Amino acid sequence: MKWQWKLGRFAGIDVYVHATFLLLIGWVGYSHWLEHHNWGEVLNGVLFILALFLCVVLHEYGHALTARKYGIKTRDITLYPIGGVARLERIPEKPIEELWVAVMGPAVNVIIAAVLFAYLFATNGLVPLTDLTVASGSFIERLMTVNISLVLFNLLPAFPMDGGRVLRAILAMRMDHVRATQVAANIGQGLAFVLGFIGLFNNPFLLFIAFFVWIGASQEASMVQMRNSIGGIPVTRAMLTDFKTLSPQDKLAQVVALILAGSQHDFPVVDAHGRVAGILDRDTFIKALTQHGQSASVMDFIRPNVPEVDSSDMIDTAVMRLQESNSKTLPVVHGGQLVGLITAENITEYLMIRSALQASGKVPNPIG
Ligand SMILES: [Zn+2]
């Protein structure tokens, strides 16, 4: 179980809510009850949180729809108690594109706040901000204030906040991507340290955010370094070329023989024209064998439409596809014909061998 539920699909993107979000709703309802002992207030508090998270979802769509303009798909949007996450398939390579994708999230909250302000202004509904608290004051005005806080918070120049990406994008216009990420991550961690220090004496919530920023910054830096070290290496250097395939007519009995005879876990099923019909992985195979016995057909249990990696692709593309597809093995094809298999394990092996050979110094950059 993934502990999340689908709320719906809007503009072609699935929106999920994480189970822990319900804890937040429960906590808000409960604290309102403790304070007011009134169901109306409880409802009011819960509605406010829901309205706030609607603004968060719109913020994520700001990122997702801008990314789409640059040809980048969004896998899904998930709501957590600490905010929303739009999982983009990749981060735009061009700094100016990353800048726009990062900025358009907070821009949505600026627009929402401006619309709410215009409404309050037109209806003479504005009260001085000093009379306003998180728990009291007009619903609309609180929502406006909270949108402004969202903008300020998100523009903190630290990963994983949008401001961190804005900073990296601006730096990347002057230096290379890896260096820009490193500098942005350092600034983010410096900021996290200051936040944590202030939080230590004033606000435990700041400590939590500082921790979150610290982790986010180092993750971003190591991910970019990893991508950089494997970028530019063709996938054919790291693929498995010694492997067995199945044909669509095969029964599970053939798989039993192959699995026992070798060390291969996942088997591509290849048709008479050399095209990949799908992949049978070991877990599915064991389950199928338990339930249906050796005479069942492999075609009933394959995972069809697995994404293929082209033989001209680079390793970083293969890593991305492996992550996206949740499949342990992907076929590598050349002109539609299967020429190899790529797995995370094999990529790791390749990188280990490569760095060992480079460290030995005898062969300069021997296989990469
Ligand atoms: Zn954002």
For residue 86, the CA-to-ligand 1 centroid distance in Å is 8
* pLDDT value for 36: 79
For residue 62, the CA-to-ligand 1 centroid distance in Å is 8
* pLDDT value for 211: 80
8 Å CB contact between 348 and 354: no
* pLDDT value for 176: 81
Residue ranges in the chain modelled with pLDDT below 50: 363-368
What pairs with residue 41 in β-bridges? none
Could you identify the residue written with the tokens 């049978």?
280
In this structure, which amino acid lies at residue 317? T
* pLDDT value for 198: 84
- 93: Cβ–Cβ under 8 A, 6 or more apart, which residues? 177
3-state secondary structure 287-350: HHHHHHCCCCEHHHCCEECCCCEECCCEHHHHHHHHHHHCCCEEEEEECCEEEEEEEHHHHHHH
For residue 207, the CA-to-ligand 1 centroid distance in Å is 21
Closest of 326, 327, 309 to residue 318, by C-alpha: 309
Strands 329-334 and 83-88, how do they pair?
A: unpaired
For residue 204, the CA-to-ligand 1 centroid distance in Å is 23
For residue 30, the CA-to-ligand 1 centroid distance in Å is 29
For residue 188, the CA-to-ligand 1 centroid distance in Å is 16
* pLDDT value for 108: 95
For residue 299, the CA-to-ligand 1 centroid distance in Å is 43
* pLDDT value for 368: 45
* pLDDT value for 131: 60
For residue 279, the CA-to-ligand 1 centroid distance in Å is 37
